Every structure is written in C-alpha cells, then in structure tokens.
Structure 1
Amino acid sequence: MTDLTIQTADSTTRTETSTVDIGEIRRVMEYYQQQQWTDGLPVMPVTESYLAEFLAQTTRRPDDVLFSVPHLNRDLTVRLAAINAALAGCLPEYFPVVVAAWEAIAQEPHPRRGIWQSTTGTAPFTVVNGPVRERIGLNCQGNIFGSGFRANATIGRAIRLALINAFGLRPHQLDQATQATPAKYTACIGENEEQSPWQPLHTEYGFAPGDDVVTAFVIRSVMHIEARHTQVPEQLARDFADTIRRTGALIHEYSNALLVLTPEHAQVFAGAGWTKDDVRTAVYENAVRTRAELAAVGKDALSRHTRWRLPADHPDATPDSASIGSDPENVRIMNGLGSVQIVVAGANNAGVSAVVEIFGLAPRERPSSYSKVAAG
C-alpha cells in the first residue's frame, strides 16, 4: 500500500490509500530516461495490455508502415506509433488522430526527409478539424499554444517521441538543430470552427465540414501579432505581411505562412466583407521587399545550388526570379496565394493572433498535407 497526498485546486489536501507501488513506477520512469526514450520530461510506463487498447482504436495493422526516412533506413509502424503515443500520455481514444497526423506527415511537401534533422530546428505542427475535437477535448480556444489540455499536449508530443525513438532524432546526435523551437516538445491545435466567420481549413481540401481531418505542416517558429489598435482590414493585413517579410526570416527565394487568426481578427476581415482569398491577396501583395533592402542585409540573390538567399557578389550567386521580371526592384516574398494558409483559433477576447512560419523550398500550391481521421 502507498498513501498518496493530493493537492487540490483550492489548495486543500487529502490523503488516499492506493495499491500503486510508487517506487516501482519511479524505477520504470528512470529506466526509460536512462534509455533515452524521452524528450527530457517523464513519460508514461507502457504495458502490452495498455498498448493493445491503442491498437484497438485503428483498423491499421500493427506492422503497417506510417512513415519512412529512407536515408536513415528506418520506418515508423503503427505499433511504434502506438507505443510512443502511450509514452506521451495520450489516451487510447486519441490514437486515430495520431495515426492521421502521421499519414499527413508522410505526404509532407518538403522534398527531402532530412528536414527533420535540419539545423534550422523545424518541428511538426498539426491542426485538427471536425467533431473529433470535441470528442477528445482538444483545445481550440484560449491558450492554444500553451499548456492545460491533455489532447493537445500529448498528441503533439506523440509525434516528437516517435521521431526520437523510431528515427533516433536526438539532440547532439541525428537532430542537428542549432537552437530549435519549443514546438519540438509538442505543437497541436484545433480550429475554433464555432467562432470562425468562414468555412474551416479542411473544407478547402475538399472535405465535408463534418469530416475529422488532421493537417500537417513543417514549421520554424510561431510569431505573436499584437494588433488591438484597428478595425480596418487593410491595416491588419499589412501587420501580418510585415511580419512575414522581415529580412531575418528570409532563407529561400519564397516564404510560406499559416495565419492563425483569433475570432476577433477574423471578424475584422469578415465584417468588412473579406473572404479568406481576400486576406490571402492582401498579405501576398504587401509581402514585398525592395532590392535595396535585401542588398543591405546580403540577401539580394540566390545560391545556384540550394536556392537559399545570399549576397549578389557571392561566387555561387544567381539572380532571383524578380530580377528577370517586370519589376526587378521590388521582390515578392511569397510565390502566390497558396503560400498563405488561414485557420481561426484562440479565444475571442483580444486582437492577438500569430504567424506560423512554414518551412519549404519549392513553390507549391499549398505548403501543407492532410489526412482524414479513420474510425477504429
């Protein structure tokens, strides 16, 4: 027997008697830590019987491969995904969302799977749509990028733990991130469909509003937009565009972004009669730098080999696309309207939104991938 002392929300305490052997649980957790099966935080012990509860949630076979990294010669099976979901603290009923996230990641648009080892410190980021959000208690409103909700925290963490344990992507080893991002612990949100003035993200991919869908992105950072000062949509769009076009963010010829709008900001646009495409157009049109501004920071040309930005006088330099266009002195930062994705999430209590920087090299119609959540 072990007496457990429990701290309650009102700061009172109570003592309960349990048959749990806390010492044994601690030994298991320390063993997992010694084996480097964690992300630095404690993980849940996993038994075969508990693992079976996860596998029962999907029609996929345990040995089905969800994701491969060929240059590492390693695969992620459904069983391995389930083990890491359990380690992360997921409930079994979250597992279909985890599987769908991996199916979406397997379609990720970046042309090289080595992106997961990037010095840039990229992280997987998932957006969940559909009724499944309510069924599993996924947070779509206040504090979406913060703590407090098991589904958000553990679904995103399940992805990271699998990258560590199935593919060996540990810091100072195969993970070569120079500084990385807190999103490497976990990054999973739900769209606040109920307070959005527009159709949700997944319907833009052809899904029905009632479908459960996970959209996957590869991201670099999440940038805060404080814009409580205006109800003018043109001004608000310029705030977003200015965040995207900052020179420190410019790595490749073009940038991609996911705008995570709070309902208040979405309503500023929609109340003025703007559609999502109107927002995309305004951001795209204003995400421009002059040639002189790029030259001042040494980013006025491209590498012949990597297409990354560098100075025009560099031996490997080649002109960017704008140099041979009709307006060579003004450089568009985005390739087209498809480079701007929009989702509504967060509380409806302030003009605070975010720009999520999406990592990508090649121009694409949409810098994201997606998968429908399958019923078990």
Structure 2
Amino acid sequence: MNAHDRPSDEFIVFVKQGCETCQMIEGILGDVAQVFPTVIYTQDNPSFPAGAGAIDDTDLEHSFRHDVETVPTLIRLSSGKEVSRTFGWHRGDWQEITGLPGLGADLPVMRPGCGSKSREPGVYDTLRAKYGVVDFKSRPILLGSYDDPVEAAYDRGWSDGLPVVPPTDARILRMLDGTSRRPNDVIGDVPPNLASITVEKVAVNAVMAGCRPEYMPVILAALEAALDPLFTMHGLLCTTCFSGPIIVVNGPIAREIGMNSGINCLGQGNRANATIGRALQLIIRNVGGGRPGELDRAVLGGPGKYTFCFAEHEGDPTWEPLSVARGVPAGKNAVTLFQGDGIQGFLDQRSRTPEELTKSLAMSLLAVGHWKLCEFTNALLVLVPEHYAIFRDAGWDRSRITEELHKAMVRPGEDVIQGAHGVGEGIAVSRRNELVNKFWPEGLLIVQAGGQAGLFSAICAGWTGGRFRNESKPVTKEIVL
C-alpha cells in the first residue's frame, strides 16, 4: 500500500531540538507533511524544526497524553485513531508506516532516539497529576497562591513538630507506585479515634514524613502490626509512660532500601530509618487523632516518639534474626514492633567470657523500669557485634544467650518485695518466698545491630503494659511487596 491509497491518514511527530536524531530527521519531516496532514510537537524549542509550524509542547501535555517515551516518535492516525507508531529513526519502519518508499534514503539505516522530556525523573508524576486521571478519595486542602504549605501544615496540626513535606498529587502518585496494593484498600482502623485508613492515606502521610516510594511495603507492614489488637496501640498511645512503637526490620528489603543496621543505626542520618518510623507516628496523629496533650498523656515522652526504626544486622550467619526467632521463614522480609522506651546505654569493655558478659548484662537489665519490679514489663536488648562475638566465639547462639540471661536475673522474692531495702516500690509481699524472674520467659527480645566501634550495647525498656502478659505483646508481620 502506498501513500495515495490512504487519503484519511494523518501523522503526529514528537521531537526536541536537544536530540541529535531529531535534528538528523528535520529535513524529512517536510517530506511527510507534503503528502499527509502532519502535526509536529516540539518539546523544548518552539522554533524547531525550522519553518515546520511546530506546536509548542514545552508544557508536555501532548507528549503525556500520547504516552511518548522516546523522541522522535512518529504516530500514524487513520480516521482519527492511532494505528501504528515508531520511535527513534529506523528507515524501514518510517518508510513502511508512511508508505513513502524513498523516505530518508540518504540517511543512516538506524539511529536510536532520545528520552522524552515527559519521562525525565519527577516530570512524569507531575504530568500524571496535572493531566491524568487522579481519583484520590482524601479531602484536598486548597491553599492560596501566597500561602506557605509547610506553615499551613503546622497551623492545621498535621506536624509532629518538625516540618513536613507538602503532599502534592504528584508526590502521592509517586508514593503509591511503591506498593502493589490498591489505593482504596483498607488497612484497618487507627486508634484512638478508630478512623479507617486506606493505602492512599498511608501514602499521604508517608510523603509528609519524607519517605521514598520503595519504603511503602515496610510502612504498610508496620502499620498492620501496630493495628494488631495484641500490640494494643491505643493503650500505648494513651499511656503516661515514655513508650512508643520501636520498629525492627529484617530481610533483604532492609538492604535494598538502604536501611542502617550498623554504625549509629539508632541515631540520625539515615533516611529510611528516620522516615519509616516517622510515617507510622504521623498516621497515628493525623488519621487516628493521637495528639500529645489530648489522648497522648505521656508525662515526659521521649525522642523515640518522633521515630524509632532500624534494621537488624544480618551479616553474621551464626546469628538467628529476630524475625526468624519469631516464626518468619529465613530470607523473608518482616517487621517487628516492640512497645519500648528510649535507650539505656550498656558499657562493658572488660568482660571477655560469655559468663562474665551475661552477669554484666543482667545487672543493667534488672534496672528496667525499676530494680525491684519483676514480671512487670519487657525489654529489647540491642547487642552490638563486638559483644555478640564474645558469645559466638564460645558457641552461644540466640537461644543460649536468652536462656542464660533469664537465669542470671532470677532473685529471691524477699529482695524485691515492697519495702525491702527501705524502698517502697517492689512486688507483692505475698511473693516473699518465691524465686522471681525479672521478665516473663517471652519478655526479652534480642536484636543484633550497631557498628564495630566499641563494646557499647543498648537496652530499651518495654512499656509497662507488658505486665498484662496475655493482652499486650510485640507483634511481627511479614512484609508483602
């Protein structure tokens, strides 16, 4: 079929002057336009191609609507509908689509095209938000042209005290690309107001927290763990104590998204660690209504209520990851949420045997909550690699370390009853003749993390709600990608 057999055909061409291939084919665009109605859209310079009467597409609306990925792109329409397209320059393809057998005979057989400006990083999401179909269910807040969106977030109480990232449509769309779940999927009801939350609303708060899209599966799993009744998020939020959710991430995803499990992993400086935990806290605040001074009645609170999230170090094959110890298959991604306080530093640079180190750790663990409170709360022990090496070199694994620590913390009841040693705090006097453990058997979680820079481990005291042994516990959830 030649060009004269297709009177209803017309062509659309997308080019940009910054593309060498587009410059190379500039002359043949006129050859096509002599035979067919042809519309040329230029992405960067309205005067290119010269004398072609190109349409200015520097706002990239037409490039977006025609889903152009590469320039040049040639699209053939028949009766107004697209019937074929090609991109870059391939002489045979252009001749076949146009029906012009001599087209570009003096040009090379093939030259690759260039990336469309509509597909540059960040641009496509902006175009989707501006020209695409955005079916968000969240209520939009329209600001005036002179309003500062960061200040507006403060004014409306959406901030945890630090500036938040304005959740524009483009940013929300980009965040939703980080999960395979549908935007309108309901995750659960967020306390204290038990407000329903969708994946879309998670994405909104993840944007505000400063997350990247690839963090979304971790955030969603952490939220599911927080909403598990066994975690008792409502009670943790309303407590007058120091506690908040501590998020521990296991599995390959921690490395893939760049989480820190090494030097300063409990501190600042890592985007994933900082913003994943912050996203969960913002969800509780903005969706559930958990604001300090209202339902959040903490006497002092703690820095961890901004964010407390880190990855477990899994580089030592002798160490059983926390998620595996809690029933998740090895190699799978998971989050564990622990109701915990801030960091109680543990310094022991002299113990060199597992027996010495166990006794030393037990001394510090006994101080959790209060030295005389037993089976009252839980604890999370963050064991640094240099301390773990002392156990590992003696053949002690996670199970042995946990067992020996529990044994080292058993005390006569008469030492810890109320009034003993002239201190009113303590366990019930009726337990005077018992041997009492500091924690419930399942009340001590051990995580390996931190750098190789010293013999400094950490203890995070658990929430006092842990005394309700069968009503409030840490929760582990597998991450769904």
Question: After TM superposition, is the score higher than 0.5?
Answer: yes
Structure 1: any 5+ residue segments left out of the alignment? Answer: 1-22, 303-311, 313-318
Distance 1:146 1:361, change over 3 A: same
Task: Give the corresponding residue for 2:387.
Answer: 265
Residue 453 of structure 2, aligned match among 328, 340, 349: 349
Q: TM-score, normalised by structure 2?
A: 0.64
| 1:104-140 Cα deviation digits (max 9, x unpaired) | 2222634572221110132111111111111111001
Residue 40 of structure 1, aligned match among 153, 161, 173: 161
* Alignment check: 8 A CA contact 1:108 1:217 kept: no
Task: Give the corresponding residue for 2:425.
Answer: 299
Distance 1:364 1:223, change over 3 A: farther
Q: Mean Cα displacement is larger for which, 104-113 or 234-243?
A: 104-113
Displacement after TM superposition at 1:195 (Å): 3.7
| 1:81-103 Cα deviation digits (max 9, x unpaired) | 21111100001111111001111
Q: TM-score, normalised by structure 1?
A: 0.81
Displacement after TM superposition at 1:198 (Å): 1.1
Displacement after TM superposition at 1:240 (Å): 2.0
Q: In the aligned structure 2, how far is the partner of 1:108 from the partner of 1:261?
A: 29
* Alignment check: 8 A CA contact 1:358 1:367 kept: no
Distance 1:196 1:107, change over 3 A: farther
Task: Give the corresponding residue for 1:14.
Answer: none
Distance 1:366 1:270, change over 3 A: farther
| 1:263-289 Cα deviation digits (max 9, x unpaired) | 111111111111211111111112234
Provide the secondary structure at the position in 1 that maps to 2:315: helix
Distance 1:39 1:49, change over 3 A: same
Distance 1:67 1:37, change over 3 A: same
Q: In the aligned structure 2, how far is the partner of 1:226 from the partner of 1:71?
A: 38
Task: Provide the alpha-carbon RMSD of the alignment.
Answer: 2.5
Distance 1:348 1:70, change over 3 A: closer
Q: In the aligned structure 1, how far is the partner of 2:472 from the partner of 2:287?
A: 28
| 1:303-358 Cα deviation digits (max 9, x unpaired) | xxxxxxxxx5xxxxxx4xx45xxx42x4222121x222111100022111111222
Is the counterpart of residue 173 in structure 1 residue 287 in structure 2? no
Residue 439 of structure 2, aligned match among 334, 355, 358: 334
Displacement after TM superposition at 1:207 (Å): 2.6
Distance 1:345 1:63, change over 3 A: same
Residue 266 of structure 2, aligned match among 128, 142, 145: 145
Q: Mean Cα displacement is larger for which, 25-34 or 178-187?
A: 25-34
Rg (Cα) greater in structure: 2
Q: Mean Cα displacement is larger for which, 342-351 or 359-368?
A: 359-368
Amino acid at match of 2:456: V
Amino acid at match of 1:339: G
Is the counterpart of residue 136 in structure 1 residue 257 in structure 2? yes
Provide the secondary structure at the position in 1 that maps to 2:158: coil
Task: Give the corresponding residue for 1:20.
Answer: none
Task: Give the corresponding residue for 1:11.
Answer: none
Identity percentage of aligned residues: 35
* Higher relative contact order structure (alpha carbons within 8 Å, sequence separation ≥ 6): 1
Displacement after TM superposition at 1:248 (Å): 4.3
Amino acid at match of 2:196: D
Provide the secondary structure at the position in 1 that maps to 2:335: strand
Task: Give the corresponding residue for 2:234.
Answer: 113
Residue 187 of structure 2, aligned match among 56, 62, 66: 66
Task: Give the corresponding residue for 1:239.
Answer: 360
Q: In the aligned structure 1, how far is the partner of 2:400 from the partner of 2:244?
A: 29
* Alignment check: 8 A CA contact 1:68 1:76 kept: yes
* Alignment check: 8 A CA contact 1:339 1:366 kept: no
Q: In the aligned structure 2, how far is the partner of 1:76 from the partner of 1:252?
A: 38
| 1:151-187 Cα deviation digits (max 9, x unpaired) | 0000011011111111121111121000011100110
Q: Mean Cα displacement is larger for which, 288-297 or 41-50?
A: 288-297
* Alignment check: 8 A CA contact 2:373 2:427 kept: no
